[in-house]
Structure 1
Amino acid sequence: MEFYGISDRGKVRPLNQDVCQTFYDAVKNSALLVVCDGMGGAKAGNIASEMAAEAFTASMKSHLAEDTNIIDIMQHMGEAVKLANTQVYDRSMSDIDCAGMGTTLVAAVVTPGGTVVANVGDSRAYHVTANQVTQVTKDHSVVEDMIDRGDLTRSEASSHPNRNLITRALGTALDAEPDFFFLNLQSGEYLLLCSDGLSNMLSEQVLLNEISGGANVQETCEKLVRLANMKGAPDNVTAVLIQK
């Protein structure tokens, strides 16, 4: 199991409000991957993403040492999301400089017995094999809702003026409900977690070409971020890649 994460400010934003974290339990041969994309004010978005990633990771570390059952891991991920949400929400309500802040979260726990992915917001997870890339998560966004209603096509959504508006985030309300997805990663396959600063810049075909191209995960992550920057990168760019 190899994994690597990288986060970059991009070419336009003055601050990087994305955060990524990774953790590996050698005894259980299990990996924890997290990407958060903060929002809300000059510095508050950065605070929200850092708080959420730290709270989620700290909560999950202890559980990974105890559990390998996929259902138990999913339940613990739900509890960790709620904890992260509460901490960000409480800070936003008690600190005027953080009012209204929030963050996305996409996280994965990869174990020998299976993989669980959780997401809130529009940061994504992609499953990549030798010849196919599949978006695992579904965006909690205005344009995704419009697509579901038939008001917008997938191709129209990529250039819609409201494509960056999300409908669910951590820290913006008392409760936050994640969606869960289960995968059975095979040996040699990849899971990519990323912020929308990457997914908005690079097509699924580019992701497939670069990830399945044979480079190690660090070189691949760095290449993906470099390609996003070459296209202008108006947002922060974050990628976490694991190969089983």
Structure 2
Amino acid sequence: MSQEESPLRLELFGRTDVGQIREHNEDNFLVANLSTQLRGLKDEMRSVALGPNGFVVGVCDGMGGAAAGEVASQLAVDVIFEQLLHGGAAQTRDDLARRLVSAIEYAGAQIYREAQADRSRRGMGTTATIAAFLDRRVFIGQVGDSRAYLLRKGRLSLLTRDQSLVNQLIEAGQLTEEEAETFEHNNIILQALGTAETVQVDLTYHDLCVGDVLMLCSDGLSGMIRNEEIAEVLSETESPLEACRELTERANAAGGHDNITVIVVRVVGGAPEPAPGEIAFYQKYAIADSADEDAAAADPSRLFDTIKTHRGDLGMEGGQSLKVSHTMLGVMSPVGLDVHAPGKKEEPRADNKAHQGRFARRHDVDDPVNLPTRALPPFVMGTILLSALVLAGLLGYLAIR
């Protein structure tokens, strides 16, 4: 049996640490075999051959103060696991992708209801970055700014995009990465599970190769260690357990300003070798509505749409500001993200790096945030004026007749 025909084989480990500053650990993580319905990090879960129902790992970074953040993140991993098991085996990749999104959305609604029912937990929430494996494909559902990276042939790529104000401004070209380092509102995330009744899950995917190393982490790690260090540890450390330990120690040595959670998954079999020069990058995945599936069967190209989002203004009038509360801005449409069908690849950014700032989310912020905007381009204004003149002339001509 060839590598491609045998089940995907994974070696993995996960670790969470309170860090050097926090009194409580509000992070949680999920490791679960959806085929055996086992959960946790027992020995049999650290080296697995993928079953027909798939496998899932995830990181949730809670917020809310006292014990509320821990409650939110624990509830998220519990609900997501239960929802992914509900209904039996996924029939197709699309089925698993749809279930992943639904499970994250359901967890967000459940946390929101819990928070509304208990005044001491109002405002609690959590990020969620969940990776679900089926065949040799991994789907990643993300809400918030916990990240997923992939190391391939020594090159580290970011497979997610932080749902934060500072990253949105960077994507829009309104802020450089250097300016972002000192941006006063770099602690604001755009959404989290539990802070609103609904969330918008960012769903991405990637096809795995032998030797790939997938890493999920909270910003307690990504905000303390630069990409070069992460790539060094993942490249030089064979054991996922040792990689988790080394990364956690480095984050603590750098200050340990937040809770630190990391999961490392190494692909050891059941997948092809990567093509020469092939790299990983952010690829958004669009799930067809059920009503479209019959049409898609006849014409597979109709299953996915490629949507281009304008890489520029935030669509707000000059001087307009947003009120920010509890370091959350409600759900905003991501700026500068391209949605790609499977097989259609986005050109990676030259440096393939994301902002390394620390996105703390545990302090109230109620001051207005002024978002830089631009005026309409001159050619647009010219077109509008020319059209108005032509219309006026036509109306005048008709009036004379």
Give 2:98's match in structure 1, choosing from 71, 75, 80.
75
Task: Give the SS at the match of 1:171.
Answer: coil
Q: Output one character per residue of 1:95-139: Cα deviation in whole Å (capped at 9) or x when no partner.
A: 011001111000001222311001000001001112211111111
| Cα deviation 1:11-44 (Å, max 9, x = unaligned) | 0000000101101235338320010001112111
Distance in 2, Cα, partners of 1:238 & 1:160:
25
CA distance in 2, matches of 1:68, 1:196: 34
Counterpart selection for 1:14 from 23, 47, 50: 23
More moved, 10-19 vs 51-60:
51-60
Q: 1:83 aligns to what SS in structure 2?
A: helix
Match 1:4 to one of 9, 13, 16: 13
TM-score normalized by structure 2?
Answer: 0.59
Q: Select the structure with the greater relative contact order (CA < 8 A; seq sep ≥ 6).
A: 1
Structure 1 gaps of 5+ residues are none
Cα deviation, 1:52-80, whole Å, max 9, x if unaligned, reads 111011211346x5126221111001110
Paired residues, what number?
A: 243
The aligned counterpart of 2:399 is: none
Aligned ranges 1:58-73 → 2 under 5 Å? 58-62=82-86, 66-67=89-90, 69-73=92-96
Name 1:136's counterpart in structure 2: 159
> Do structure 1's residue 38 and structure 2's residue 47 form an aligned pair?
no
Paired residue for 2:323? Answer: none
Q: Offset at 1:174?
A: 1.1
Which stretch shows the higher mean deviation, 66-75 or 185-194?
A: 66-75
Structure with greater Cα Rg: 2
Q: Of residues 64, 69, 75 in structure 2, which corresponds to 1:51?
A: 75
What is the percent sequence identity of the aligned residues? 33
Matched, 1:27 2:27: no
Task: Give TM-score scaled by structure 1 length.
Answer: 0.95
1:16 partner SS:
coil
Q: Which residue of 1 aligns with 2:355?
A: none
Q: Which amino acid aligns with 1:148?
A: E
User: Kindly tell me: are residues 108 and 16 of structure 1, through their superposed partners in 2, closer, same or farther at Cα, counting changes over 3 Å?
Assistant: same
Partner of 2:192: 169
User: What is the rounded CA distance, in whole Å, between the counterparts of 1:123 and 1:8 in structure 2?
Assistant: 15
1:227 maps to a residue whose letter is: R
Q: Does 1:105 align with 2:128?
A: yes
Which residue is 2:241 aligned to? Answer: 218
Distance, in Å, in 2 between the alignment partners of 1:169 and 1:34 is 15
How far, CA to CA, are the matches of 1:4 and 1:100 in structure 2? 31
The 3-state SS of whatever aligns with 1:66 is coil
Structure 2 distance, partners of 1:115, 1:41, is 33
Q: 1:56 is paired with a residue of what secondary structure?
A: helix
Residue correspondence of structure 1 range 150-161 to structure 2 within 5 A: 150-161=173-184
Amino acid at match of 1:52: A
Runs of 4+ in 1 over 4 A off after TM superposition: none
Structure 2, unpaired ranges of 5+: 1-9, 36-49, 268-401
> Whole-Å Cα distance in 1 between the matches of residues 227 and 53 of structure 2?
29
- The superposition leaves residues 70-93 of structure 1 with CA deviations (integer Å, 9 ceiling, x where unpaired) of 211110011101110111000110
For residues 175-210 of structure 1, what are the alpha-carbon distances to aligned partners after superposition, in whole Å with 9 as ceiling and x for unaligned?
111101110110110111100010001111111110
Q: Quick check: which one's helix share is greater?
A: 1
Is this contact kept in 2: 1:122–1:141, CA < 8 A? yes
Which amino acid letter does the alignment assign opposite residue 74 of structure 2? Answer: E
Q: Whose strand proportion is higher, 1 or 2? A: 1
After superposition, the CA RMSD in angstroms is: 1.5
